[in-house]
Amino acid sequence: MNYSRRELRDLAVAWLALGLAFGLLLSPISATRLDVVVSTEFLLLFVVSLVTAGVGFLGHELAHKAVAVHFGQHAEFRADYGMLLLAIAGGLAGFLFAAPGAVHHAGRITSRQRGLVALAGPVANLAMAAVFFALTPLSAVAEYGVLINVLLAGFNMLPFGPLDGNTVRKWNLGVYVAVAAPSILLALRLLGFV
């Protein structure tokens, strides 16, 4: 796969911004939340976030790109800088909504191929969750990797708007249910709702 300079920059900025947003979110809340950035604990949480949430994001987006390129598409990730700023501000405020950008692809594509491109991201997150799960006996960080990747898969499989789940549902309801049901249920379970 080829990457333009802009795409590499956008991937790096989105990865670092998400690491920062999740690091801020996980940091203990202080009176001003500004002193958290200079703490050793924050730096550790930032690195943990880069390894878990950041890698989950990168794997998700690069899976979309790989499948699109496989189907003859020109595909590139584009960061949404406004949403990245919102994610950082949300992490600082103690909540997080992250929509860092998307892989845009162009060329002739069938409904099935479009569905498989959309499916690739959440399936990559489920695969990464399985890898992190296998590492949980070795590291507490791996538990966070499982959680964040299951949440990414579950959220992205919701059948609304531009989310991957909506594209997959439009293509093939059976495939949608087979991936969405366990992804969403597992995410809800890990959050303590089920």
Whether residue 134 sits in one domain with residue 74: no
Whether residue 35 sits in one domain with residue 83: yes
Whether residue 124 sits in one domain with residue 34: no
Residue 97: exposed, middle, or buried by beta-carbon count in 10 A (0-12, 13-18, 19+)?
Answer: exposed
80 token code pair: 């949404």
Is residue 60 classed as helix, strand or coil in its secondary structure? Answer: helix
Q: Annotated active-site positions, please?
A: 61
Predicted pLDDT of residue 29: 60
Q: What is the dihedral of CA 48, 53, 56, 59, to 10 degrees?
A: -80
Whether residue 191 sits in one domain with residue 103: no
Whether residue 145 sits in one domain with residue 91: no
Is residue 102 classed as helix, strand or coil in its secondary structure? Answer: strand
- Give average pLDDT by consecutive 10-residue segment, the chain, 194 residues: 96 96 79 60 90 96 98 97 94 86 95 98 98 94 94 95 96 98 95 88
Question: Model pTM?
Answer: 0.91
Whether residue 103 sits in one domain with residue 17: yes
Final residue of a structural domain among 109, 137, 164: 109
Whether residue 132 sits in one domain with residue 79: no
H helices of the chain, in order, are: 5-26, 40-49, 55-70, 81-93, 111-135, 140-156, 164-171, 173-190
Predicted pLDDT of residue 117: 98
Whether residue 186 sits in one domain with residue 133: yes
Q: What does the chain come to in residues? A: 194
Final residue of a structural domain among 109, 141, 167: 109
Whether residue 128 sits in one domain with residue 102: no
Predicted pLDDT of residue 40: 81
Final residue of a structural domain among 109, 126, 159: 109
Element (H, E) at 103: strand 101-106
Cα distances from 82 to residues 32, 34, 99, in angstroms, run 23, 21, 9
Name 76's bridge partners: 104
Whether residue 12 sits in one domain with residue 84: yes
Whether residue 121 sits in one domain with residue 102: no
Whether residue 193 sits in one domain with residue 104: no
Predicted pLDDT of residue 19: 94
State the amino acid at position 89 in one-letter form.
A
Domains: count for the chain: 2
Q: Which domain range does residue 124 map to? A: 113-194
CB 119 within 8 A of CB 179: yes
Predicted pLDDT of residue 31: 47
